[in-house]
Structure 1
Amino acid sequence: RAYQKQAAAPILRAVLQREGKTFAVMFPRQSGKNELQAQLECYLLLLFSQKGGEIVKVSPTLRPQCQTAMRRLERTLKANPLTAPLWKKEAGSVYRLGNAAITFLSGAPGSKIVGATASILLEIDEAQDVNPEKYDREIAPMAASTNAVRVFWGTAWTEDTLLAREIRLAESLQIAADQRVFRIDAHTVEREVPAYKQFVAEQVAKFGRDHPLIKSQFFSEMLTGRGSLFTEARIEKMSGSHAFLSEPLPYERYVLLIDVAGSDETSSHLSAAGERDATALTLCRLQPPESECQAVWGYDWQVVQRICWINLPLTEQIERLTSFIRYWNPSQVVVDATGVGAGVAAALLQTFGDGVVLPFVFSAASKSKLGWHFLAMIDAGRWQEAQPNDEPEFAEQISLQQLFYRQLRACQVELVAGPQKAMRWGIKPGVTDPITGQFLHDDLLMSAALAAYLDERIGAGSSGETLIVRRGDPLKSLDKGY
């Protein structure tokens, strides 16, 4: 492909002419970056098989990234008739072709990799996930004595990554006749690979063009490492056209999301003694998408009612929840089962069974995953807030909706470096509500985000269970009054 050749040619020329340059190559996901690496490595091993030399390739982790890179090179060496009879594997992570060799190393923080020397080429794969300090202290010296060419491969993430730093440095050195940064996006790939265009279009439809993973992984846009998670543009996408409900309607599917007061949600913004502590309920109607195209990505989630119970004893919460569930008859109940929430979840499981009640336990990893999927629902327009009206009976609902929006605006995010693509998110301690002046919590926000856990399980194409709409016998209601 032309965009692969555009990067390969200058790198090869710099290696052959011993120019000692630094290159940065940023490709979107699944666009042939790893295949280009394997072909380049295979060619250089063959080229230097008589003269001799060393290639060193560093990946963020041993498993799976180093092992994946080794398997890919093996396939390439076996497929090439010139290299197939000549190569051999040595010492676990060393591949040799004649007098030339490539060594694969892990750049994980705890790995011990000092001592290797790169005389032909030093490669840093997925450089956005390699610690910059680790590179400067242990990896960069591998090319020092030989001034070997250095190539940083990767995909966009945040501005403070090793890849972002090296792109800035390489851009400061390059001129028109000496390109050192090769940064392509999905549009470039689409022009040569029509199937890729369809794949990316599906991902954009599923997650939304503004989802951080879409922006970085497919369109090579750097992300801000920290800041506001729910921008005004993202909040505007939540606006729906439906109304609040005070009672269930026939033949509709409802889901209840419960964030339990006092639960540990793995963040530092928990309530201190004496502060407001609320259990938040979010009741949603699951609405099938209007078109078959939209249906690929699952239901629309329409918020029809919210409830907050402040400093309410757990026994009374369980009683109220039981009555509420029996009245609304939701198909599924997702409940925060972290900390004290475990008792609430256990009580609901005993009453309604695991076919209805779905416990969710917060951890750093599960909360990160929950946040990413909730963003996808919002950016795809599938999380929909009710349209406020002037009816007095919904005044409290409007007030809670506005509080939910204030919690969204106060929520901060920090993207964590590393292959896990994790994020920490929540409302920082000490943040006050601009309306009430009281400390602002994220109970309504966490309640809403629990939708992402169920949505991932029931979405089209998932292996999750089918939702069964549990409805009462309509004949029983007709018996009343007769």
Structure 2
Amino acid sequence: MELVDDEYLDEELTDETETERQARLDTEVELDELTAEFVAMLVDKLMVVVDTLSGHPLYHYQRPFARRLIESVIIGDGATITALFSRQSGKSETVANVVAALMIMLPVLARIYPDLLGHFKEGLWVGAFAPVDDQADTLFSRIVSRLTSERAVEIMAEPEINDALKGKGRTVTLRSGSLVRRQTCHPRAIIEGRTYHLILIDECQGADDRMVNKSIAPMGASTNATMVFTGTPSYEKGVFYKAIQLNKRLASRRGARCNHFEADWKAAAKANPRYGKYVKKEILRVGEDSDEFKLSFRLMWLLEKGMFTTREVLDSLGDKSMEAVKYWHQTPVVVGIDPARKQDSTIVTVVWVDWDRPDEFGMYEHRILNWLDLEGMDWESQYYRITEFLSNYNIFAIGIDVGGVGDAVASRLKVLMPRANIVELGSMAGDQSKRWKHLNQLLERRMIGWPAHAKTRRLRTYRRFVQQMEDLQVEFKGPNMMAEAPNETGAFDDYADSLALACVLTQETQMPVMEVANNPFY
């Protein structure tokens, strides 16, 4: 299980803007003592209905997840609940049982408790999503199976409930108005505008960020819908991973509700011995350390296989005793400039190099001294801002990607900085691969670092650098290693590009060596 260290948790909470802090306070739901007791009693009663519908009680590791789902829908806190369960351990089964019980019971309870549940008087509206239609059908069919079971028919036939199945197809409707609709969240799908009280996304590790955030989440805007993300780990970060990490961070706050739930194969095996025997056979068949087993049963995110680096590596390389260095003339430094393209920022990264102590492979230790982020600034202003910034350092070489507008930037800086050694670096696949591989080697050998002092961690430049490095995805195209930001809104790789451009200079060029000799004429 991936954990985030406490110091980082505290930093994340203290670094929020005033607008974010106010938004968090405005959306938190705090219940008085009597209401909290009543909600807990109501959850208990509904859990009895859940067990009755399923025909057997939920397992111990499923119950906290089920209770939180019910509570969120009742109090209307609009939570995003994440459940990371091992394969075939019953995550979809838990969701199906809870949803079926809520669809039947909430319209009835809305008549009895109109102040708390009156918005369900016309039924509970549920959207069941998954990356592809077949996956969506898995969760949807389980919900329908519960609603059409003999136990469900008996419960709905009770005089106090008096409900029944009204329609069946891609949308299943009850006479009370409750409905569940099957939809895909494939990025190419055209999703009609719907309104839901509860949004379910199964196999969420494969869901498209943009589709979830832009098209699906707004379907719960008018109802402050609860969203439930279920799935297993993957090779890359996405909306599921980010939601899990956010829930872990928020759970560290005093009095916060837990919105993330995990159950690996060992937790499931304690409740179901047959499941344990199956998984142990898988250990013999594929191996406990195989990617398949780690992803499916051990709940391990294999980010290093699809990501350029990981949060753990980034945290370990940050020097918490070092602040950003604004002036440095003692030794020559290298600089990388990634010119802005459209919505990107122009990023300048200054890197100190330990020229005197190369390792046995001729690689030097690198350390970022400072960053310059020129966002939303016209090019004429950028040129002079760059030269002003770099005048504070003893520069050995400046690397610029000459693809796109880079050649014009290099030409202009050669005029403005005639004494600087400006190196024009190509943007072909082979050129890019060379610098990404070099940066990757520096990370693996722990021969690179950056300032991570508490004051530095509050800077926008630091936060953007860490976020972009963490988001960077890697792809191999033949022999070439390519790294880039994920194809989603708000994801960029300018800081990583700038760093790679600076570091490759220590491989491309050699630091001049000064020889000392006696003067024969003196």
TM-score by length of structure 2 reads 0.43
Which protein is richer in helix relative to its size? 2
Larger RCO (alpha carbons 8 Å, 6+ apart): 1
